[in-house]
Amino acid sequence: MQTGLPLPTQTQRVSYWRALLVVLVSILGGYLFTALSFVVSPIEPSRFAEFIGPAYVIATIVPFLVAFPVSVIIQRQQVKLSEALMELEQAHAELAFRSRTDGMTRTLNRDAFLEDLSDLQKTGLNGAMLMIDVDYFKSINDDFGHQAGDEALALVAAAIRSSVRDQDLAGRIGGEEFSVFLKDADLNLAMQIAERIRVAISEIRFSPRLGVKRQITASVGVALGDSEVRLDDLLRVADHCLYASKESGRNRVTASETGWRVV
């Protein structure tokens, strides 16, 4: 599962070589137009030397005095514009990221998770839905405070993110409940990943208070989707399997044996 903001692109810099190239082109152009001016408006040969020298001196000096600084100024303005556009793009990306991400756990928030699933439903929810709920989470808040509860949720989310694949979706859908959609996963793969998540959570080292250790466990429900399943049905079956795990003693994985239909 990939998280984080896109890296900013490299901004352009002022190129003095480019400014010198502009000067060179300006000088050559000045020479050309100076020569053409003598062709268009010929002067007496006796006075030619009197005009040719100053004309080419001016055609050489003026580009250095005008073209070079103007080129540098234009490039600096372009750099400022590029930096402003990059900052604006980064701000938009950060805003979009924050609007889709649960700040505490760095997983998708509920709306973003369901939105992505709705998009997948257009081509078929082929894969497996996992519902994950932290066991006895209320007791952590009651015994150690909400700050400790927040830390526990962040650790659980990190364990989930490290256990799924890059193409999978993981989100916090409410309180201490998380959900993962495993794209194109069959039951065997879904059970392997679900068990990997369960073990990773149970191995979290959580010390809500100095000298106090508290084990964290989670129950998991697994439901398979296909090209015909509706999102609501898939979530309902996964949730049904989650509660089956809770009723069977918690800290375990339960999968629907009847596909996505509860009978």
Q: What are the φ/ψ torsions at residue 96 (nearest 5 degrees)?
A: -65, -40
Mean pLDDT of the chain: 83
Check if the beta carbon of residue 154 is closer than 8 Å to that of residue 147: no
- Average pLDDT (149-170) is 96
User: What is the CATH class of 110-255?
Assistant: alpha beta
How many contiguous H segments (helices) and E segments (strands) does the chain have?
A: 8, 5
pLDDT digits (tens, 9 = 90+) for 5-42: 555 555 567 676 676 676 677 777 666 766 666 566 66
Q: Please confirm, yes or no, whether 176 is among the known catalytic residues.
A: yes
**What's the pLDDT score for residue 69?**
73
Tell which residue, 196, 199, 237, has the closest CA to residue 216: 199
- Better-scored residue on pLDDT, 62 or 108: 108
Distance of CA 76 to the CA centre of its chain: 30
The domain ranges of the chain are: 16-99, 110-255
Q: Is the pTM of this model over 0.85?
A: no
Using CB atoms within 10 A of its CB, is residue 62 exposed (0-12), middle (13-18) or buried (19+)?
A: middle
Residue of 87, 151, 176, 228 with catalytic role: 176
Confidence grade of residue 262 (pLDDT, cut at 50, 70, 90) = very low
Confidence grade of residue 43 (pLDDT, cut at 50, 70, 90) = low
List 136's β-bridge partners, or say none: none
